[in-house]
Amino acid sequence: MATDTLALVGASCEATGHPSVCGETASGTVQDADNAAAVTLDGDGLATHGDRMHFPSHGHAVSPTGGCTDYQTHDLVPDQSPPITVDGNPVMRVGDSTTDPRSGGTASIVDAGGTNALTHTHG
């Protein structure tokens, strides 16, 4: 048996692998991208795979003068392994991750985004 903590819209996420001068870890939040409280559990909106981990503009390279350059914004959907669905919708959970497309580091969900952790237990 394993228990996963499901992520809500508003959960925090982090992307690593950036130059230290830019802030090695970029912070972001899970945002509603499908314009739907498609799935709720006990009244809280779950982050589904129609939503996105949004990372505001952050640097990915250092210029010859030592400044931070190559700014990009990322909107990412974490990989799911194994998949978890609620009412047929694939949902995000804390610890789900994917690759930062520019830094090559890991972008992952680091908290549930709510005071009441919602868990899903499966065999």
Give the one residue of 7, 92, 93, 103 binding Zn ion; rule: CB under 5 A. Answer: 103
Beta carbon nearer to Zn ion, 14 or 100: 100
Kindly indicate which of the ranges 1-9, 86-94, 95-103, 112-120 contains the residues binding Zn ion, using the contact rule CB under 5 A: 95-103
Q: Which is nearer to Zn ion, 25 or 89 (CB)?
A: 25
Shortest distance in whole angstroms from residue 35 CB to Zn ion:
25
What are the DSSP calls for the chain, one per residue?
-EEEEEPBTT-EEEE----GGG-SSEEEEEE--SSS---EETTEEBPBTTSEEEEEEE--EE-TTS-EE--EEEEE----SS--EETTEEB-BTT-EEE-TTT-SEEEE-S-SSSS-EEEEE-
